[in-house]
């Protein structure tokens, strides 16, 4: 994928002699209706609306497989932003861990009543810890007790801040796990059997080299466009990729098949081994970001 750099320009701040009165904190947006669980072909989506009118925000949590990070998408008129990439701070409450500012992607989705602004977050954790790099120790799994204790999500961004009154994420995340188990069975695997395997399929070499800058589609280069593709590689008992399925992808429509073609061509794995040590088929999920700049 293309490398990119960012240039920060110096800014001079000029303060007037008059101090504005601090605004009253906005009341948390209460949930309107129930959580909705969507069983999609390649992912599980958990959605709910908070607030009403122009202040309404729809939150959608997405998971594409077991042990995969939880992603968050927020939709609403108040999320309109002309910049594709900005930064935001998302804090689940109550938590003693301080959340860090992270890069988010801004865009929109088409609806019957027109386009609705959106903010897409790469990954979130209910304990507010950030995902580490591939060479760092993995973060602990989120316990159901933590999910149950989550009461709100506070979002800070350049255009202001707001809070979603989640109440609890215990029952909603229990529904998410049920959906993920059904998804895995749809792929031809049994979740309970996967839990007892000695090892799962693991990439040989660095997955970052499966899609290279020289593979960037010329049509996207000419348009200066970026994209992401979430894929599932079917790995056979010998560690070869027997198939690749696009779970999620942005435009253009050709970027998904293009990415999967590269995965089938270059990806190799050490095979998964069952509880008896026998090599067996497995699946592997990852995401490729095609990005021209930032």
- pLDDT 10s digits, 124-177: 999 998 876 666 777 888 999 999 999 999 999 987 899 999 999 999 999 999
Q: What are residue 35's DSSP bridge partners?
A: none
pTM of the model: 0.81
Query: What pLDDT does residue 225 have?
Result: 84
Query: What pLDDT does residue 111 have?
Result: 83
DSSP secondary structure, 42-65, as one string: S-EEEEEEES-GGG-EEEEEEE-S
Q: What percent of the chain has pLDDT over 90?
A: 69
Alpha helices, H only, 95-188: 144-149, 170-186
Tens digit of pLDDT for each residue in 263-273? 999 999 999 99
- Please give the Cα distance from 19 to 22 (Å, whole number): 9
- Please give the Cα distance from 64 to 237 (Å, whole number): 23
Compute how many other C-beta atoms are within 10 angstroms of the C-beta atom of residue 44: 23
Residue 281: name the closest of 236, 242, 225, 240 by CA.
Answer: 236
Average pLDDT of the residues of the chain: 87
pLDDT grade, residue 243 (50/70/90)? very high
- Please give the Cα distance from 167 to 151 (Å, whole number): 4
Mean pLDDT score, 94-103: 83
Residue 269 DSSP SS3? strand
Q: Kindly tell me if the per-residue pLDDT of 6 is higher than 50.
A: no
Strands 29-39 and 160-165, bridge-based pairing = parallel
Tens digit of pLDDT for each residue in 179-214? 999 999 999 999 999 999 999 999 999 999 999 999
Q: Which residue has the higher pLDDT, 31 or 66?
A: 31
Q: Kindly tell me if the per-residue pLDDT of 5 is higher than 60.
A: no
Compute how many other C-beta atoms are within 10 angstroms of the C-beta atom of residue 158: 9
DSSP state of 27: P
* b/e burial code for range 102-126 (CB count within 10 A of at least 16 → b): eebbbeeeeeeeeebbbbbbeebbb
Mean pLDDT score, 6-21: 34
Q: What are residue 38's DSSP bridge partners?
A: 45
Q: Kindly tell me if the per-residue pLDDT of 2 is higher than 70.
A: no
């Amino acid at each position: 994928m293309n490398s990119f750099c960012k240039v920060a320009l110096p800014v001079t701040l000029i303060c007037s002699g008059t101090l504005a009165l601090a605004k009253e904190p906005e009341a948390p947006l209460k949930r309107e209706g129930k959580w909705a669980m969507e069983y999609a072909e390649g992912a599980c989506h958990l959605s709910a609306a908070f607030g009403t009118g122009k202040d309404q925000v729809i939150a959608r949590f997405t998971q594409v497989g077991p042990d995969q990070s939880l992603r968050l998408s927020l939709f609403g008129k108040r999320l309109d932003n002309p910049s594709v990439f900005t930064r935001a701070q998302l804090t689940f409450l109550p938590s003693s861990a301080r959340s860090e500012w992270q890069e988010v992607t801004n865009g929109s989705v088409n609806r019957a009543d027109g386009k609705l602004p959106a903010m897409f977050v790469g990954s979130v954790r209910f304990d507010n810890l950030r995902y580490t790099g591939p060479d760092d120790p993995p973060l602990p799994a989120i316990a159901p007790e933590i999910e149950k204790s989550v009461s709100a999500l506070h979002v800070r961004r350049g255009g202001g801040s707001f809070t979603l009154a989640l109440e609890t994420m215990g029952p909603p995340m229990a529904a998410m796990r049920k959906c993920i188990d059904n998804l895995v069975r749809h792929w031809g695997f049994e979740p309970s059997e996967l839990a007892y395997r000695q090892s799962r399929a693991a990439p040989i070499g660095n997955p970052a080299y499966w899609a290279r800058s020289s593979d960037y589609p010329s049509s996207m280069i000419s348009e200066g466009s970026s994209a992401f593709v979430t894929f599932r590689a079917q790995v056979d008992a010998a560690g070869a990729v027997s198939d690749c399925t696009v779970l999620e992808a942005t435009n253009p429509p050709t970027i998904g098949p293009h990415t999967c073609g590269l995965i089938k061509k270059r990806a190799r794995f050490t095979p998964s081994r069952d509880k008896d040590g026998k090599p067996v088929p497995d699946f592997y999920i990852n995401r490729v970001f095609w990005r021209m700049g930032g």
